[in-house]
């Protein structure tokens, strides 16, 4: 049985941990509000961009740019795995990495050549043991201040476009965690290249009007598609950031509560041990007095 000193030290240690988890919860809550606002503000632009792409794609048909029509093959796949730079966020990184592992394994089972590009340290760490030989690059987000992911998104978007033009892959899939609410973040796999609007994207209502494009639909798409890819990457980064803060806030809240329960349990154990020691000492004193 632990001594009174050991119990007292454990209670002190758990209290210190509780203070840390409570502080992290409050910081995550403050960051969540900003991250959620940024993710919500980016959605209308991304949705509108997807709707415009859907309209132009329908007009351009099979004569569209390579970024839209593809290479004619789907043998080589690039899987872009987007996670957080830090842990202590519950299962946030684990669930995203799990979907990435399932996607990679399924593609390999089909005989596809798979390459992996990681965004965020935690996903790289979780995939490293099984798929390190597939890694071709990494995007570090540790230098990002707040929710200003624009530079990182443009860097990643340009890298993907350049690699695709150089023939390094045929299909690029982005795996990230989509923010739904504080308690729900959904790991999502989205095809980035060849670019295609999501199935639930509504087209722009032209109200019966006939548009003539200058210089042409294909030329407009040549300019629009790289921006569309950058927009989708930026939107995914903002969604992932909001999901990370929400998951961390929830995890730290649970940790704070668990620490409180542990403190109560250890305090009860300490009081019982202390009472038992006092009782034992009283018995010894009384027994000694009676012996005299």
Question: Where is 278: in which H helix or E strand?
Answer: helix 217-291
Give the per-residue pLDDT at 273.
85
C-alpha 89/C-alpha 221 separation (Å) is 39
Residue 231's pLDDT band (cuts 50, 70, 90): confident
What would the pLDDT profile of 48-70 be if each residue is shown by its tens digit?
877 777 777 666 556 667 777 77
Residue 72 reports pLDDT greater than 90: no
Give the per-residue pLDDT at 2.
74
**Are 106 and 82 spatial neighbours (Cβ–Cβ below 8 Å)?**
no
C-alpha 130/C-alpha 78 separation (Å) is 16
Residue 216's pLDDT band (cuts 50, 70, 90): low
Give the per-residue pLDDT at 176.
92
Give the per-residue pLDDT at 264.
92
Share of the chain above pLDDT 90, in %: 32
Task: Give me the count of residues in the chain.
Answer: 292
Classify burial at 66, counting beta carbons within 10 Å of its beta carbon; exposed 0-12, middle 13-18, buried 19 or more: middle
What are the CA-CA distances from residue 164 to residues 56, 173, 180, 194, 225 (Å)?
21, 12, 31, 9, 13
Cβ neighbours around 163 below 10 Å, total: 18
Domain boundaries, the chain: 21-251
Residue 199 reports pLDDT greater than 90: no
Please, what is the angle between helix 217-291 and helix 92-109, to 10°?
130
Give the per-residue pLDDT at 197.
64
Residue 214 reports pLDDT greater than 70: no
Find the range with the poorest average confidence among 114-123, 154-163, 167-176, 278-287. 278-287
Higher per-residue pLDDT: 51 or 24: 24
Share of the chain above pLDDT 70, in %: 88
Find the range with the poorest average confidence among 37-46, 92-101, 110-119, 169-178. 37-46
What would the pLDDT profile of 142-157 be if each residue is shown by its tens digit?
888 777 888 888 888 8
Residue 182 reports pLDDT greater than 60: yes
**Predicted model pTM:** 0.82
Give the per-residue pLDDT at 151.
87
Tell me the average pLDDT of the chain.
Answer: 85
Cβ neighbours around 200 below 10 Å, total: 7
Residue 202 reports pLDDT greater than 60: no
Beta-carbon contacts of 104 under 8 Å, excluding residues fewer than 6 positions away, are: 79, 114, 116, 131, 134
21-251: what fold?
Pyruvate Kinase; Chain: A, domain 1 (3.40.1380)
Residue 261's pLDDT band (cuts 50, 70, 90): very high
């Amino acid at each position: 049985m632990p001594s009174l000193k050991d119990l007292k030290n454990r209670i002190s240690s758990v209290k210190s941990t509780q203070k840390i988890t409570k502080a992290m919860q409050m910081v995550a809550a403050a960051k969540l509000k900003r991250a959620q606002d940024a993710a919500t503000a980016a959605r209308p632009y991304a949705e509108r961009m997807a709707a415009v792409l859907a309209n132009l794609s329908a007009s351009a048909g099979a004569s569209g740019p390579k970024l839209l029509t593809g290479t004619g093959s789907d043998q080589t796949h690039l899987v872009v795995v987007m996670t957080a730079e830090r842990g202590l966020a519950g299962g946030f990184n684990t669930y995203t990495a799990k979907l990435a592992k399932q996607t990679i394994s399924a593609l390999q089972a089909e005989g596809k050549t798979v390459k992996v590009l990681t965004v965020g340290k935690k996903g790289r760490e979780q995939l490293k043991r099984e798929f390190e030989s597939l890694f071709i690059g990494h995007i570090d987000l540790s230098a990002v201040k707040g929710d200003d992911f624009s530079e990182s998104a443009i860097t990643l978007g340009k890298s993907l476009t350049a690699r695709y033009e150089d023939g390094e892959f045929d299909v690029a899939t982005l795996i990230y965690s989509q923010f739904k609410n504080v308690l729900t973040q959904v790991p999502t796999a989205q095809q980035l290249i060849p670019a295609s609007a999501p199935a639930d994207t509504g087209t722009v209502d032209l109200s019966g009007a006939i548009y003539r494009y200058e210089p042409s639909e294909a030329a407009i798409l040549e300019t629009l598609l790289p921006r569309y890819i950058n927009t989708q990457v930026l939107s995914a980064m903002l969604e992932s950031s909001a999901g990370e803060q929400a998951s961390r806030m929830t995890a730290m809240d649970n940790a704070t509560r668990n620490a409180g329960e542990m403190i109560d349990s250890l305090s009860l154990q300490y009081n019982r041990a202390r009472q038992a020691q006092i009782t034992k000492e009283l018995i010894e004193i009384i027994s000694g007095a009676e012996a005299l």
